[in-house]
Amino acid sequence: MQEKILVTRSSMPSLDEYVHEIESLWDSHWLTNMGAKHELLREELKKYLKVDAIDLLTNGHMALELVLQILNMPKGGEVITTPFTFASTTHAIVRNGLVPVFCDINPDTYTIDASKIESLITDNTVAIVPVHVYGNICDIEKIDEIAKRHHLKVVYDAAHAFGETYNDRGIGSFGDASIFSFHATKVFNTIEGGAVCTKDKALIDKMFVVKDFGILDQERVTEVGPNAKMNEFCAAMGLCNLRHLDEEIEKRKKVVGKYRNLLSSIPGIKICNIQDGVKSNYSYLPIVVDEKIYGKTRDDLYEYLDENGVGARKYFYPLTCDFECFDNQFNCYELPVARFISERVLTLPLYADLPVETVEMICRLIGDFS
């Protein structure tokens, strides 16, 4: 039987390249706690991402959770954010004792609708946490302008936007800070991993301490922090993957081009456009199924693809505000666009080595089913 085609597949260097990269660890016996590979990767990523300062962490979630901790906003403070995201974004807010206030999304980019942010600001608002979802870039100028006028912090969840630029500026250089995910499923992976980027060097100095239990030196513990350090094996994977990244993104671009070409003729299937001024990383391929035109619902199509060995995913359904763990304690109203998209979106398989014939087969299935 043919193997199922999953929504993505981790990029990996050759085994030889990875083994060569980790060999020195057998001499040093230095496996974690900000070792040589961690520091080298940090330097290389600072250049690649075009940012002023960066720190590496165990994963993207801890990067977001800890940056919100370090910004030290009052407990109970309200954070305007999007419900159309992965669980991590909302959990990072809630786990900091902050209150998510959900804003609707833009119908074309699926990012937070910046024109609706201001009406949600109250005396308790402390920050905005937008998400560059699927690598689509938020309305940065408008968000920046609102945040300045209302003295709010802005932390971008850029988990999907690794390596992207907006008007030639690294996407991690906007707002008070941005976080990236280097999870196995991402364009750039360190197996598990993540980073925080910012102009604020003091924030990075603090992160270096907070992510290591708040230990400043052998006799002083100055922060209450978890263990969120990236280890040397993960950093080594990052060093290898970074060497091949541009080539991987080029291959993804071709896969996306093929999808775009074949799907554009199927009525009722919508794909987002690449935005002006954005250098894309081609990280995800979301389609939105308009059942009135396509004739079948997103869920019908999901099932049909699954029966035919194609593992598309409903990223992002349900909206995070509807998660049972929140038990309706946060506002879930006035999110018509987010609800519309979340109920109709399907993320198709996308990775650098996805064969053209497979893309053709997936598009044929989608076309034939309508």
10 binds ligand T4K per the rule CB under 6 A: yes
Measured from the CB atom, is 234 or 266 closer to ligand T4K? 234
Residue range at the interface with ligand T4K (CB under 6 A); choices 109-117, 182-190, 275-283, 317-325: 182-190
Distance CA 67, CA 69 (A): 5
Binding letters toward ligand T4K, positions 293-322, x by CB under 6 A: ------------------x---x-------
Least distance to ligand T4K, CB of residue 222, Å: 25
142 binds ligand T4K per the rule CB under 6 A: no
Q: How far apart are the first and last CA of the chain?
A: 26
Please list the residues that pair with 196 across neighbouring strands: 55, 179
111 binds ligand T4K per the rule CB under 6 A: no
Q: Which of residues 151-180 bind ligand T4K (CB under 6 A)?
A: 157, 159-160
Measured from the CB atom, is 57 or 101 closer to ligand T4K? 57
- Distance of CA 334 to CAs 101, 107, 331, Å? 11, 14, 9
Measured from the CB atom, is 7 or 266 closer to ligand T4K? 7
Neighbours of 273 (CB within 10 A): 10
Measured from the CB atom, is 266 or 354 closer to ligand T4K? 354
Q: Measured at CB, which residue is nearest to ligand T4K?
A: 60
Residue range at the interface with ligand T4K (CB under 6 A); choices 8-16, 66-74, 243-251, 335-343: 8-16
Residue of 9, 169, 254, 296 interacting with ligand T4K (CB under 6 A): 9
Residue range at the interface with ligand T4K (CB under 6 A); choices 1-9, 68-76, 118-126, 275-283: 1-9
Supply φ then ψ for residue 247, to 5 degrees. -65, -40
Neighbours of 80 (CB within 10 A): 29
Please list the residues that pair with 179 across neighbouring strands: 157, 196
Q: How many chain residues bind ligand T4K (CB under 6 A)?
A: 23
Specify the amino acid at residue 90.
T
Least distance to ligand T4K, CB of residue 133, Å: 6
354 binds ligand T4K per the rule CB under 6 A: no
Measured from the CB atom, is 89 or 125 closer to ligand T4K? 89
90 binds ligand T4K per the rule CB under 6 A: no
Please list the residues that pair with 43 across neighbouring strands: none
130 binds ligand T4K per the rule CB under 6 A: no
Binding letters toward ligand T4K, positions 35-74, x by CB under 6 A: ------------------------xxx-------------
Sites of contact with ligand T4K (CB under 6 A) = 6-10, 59-61, 85-86, 88-89, 131, 157, 159-160, 181, 183-185, 194, 311, 315
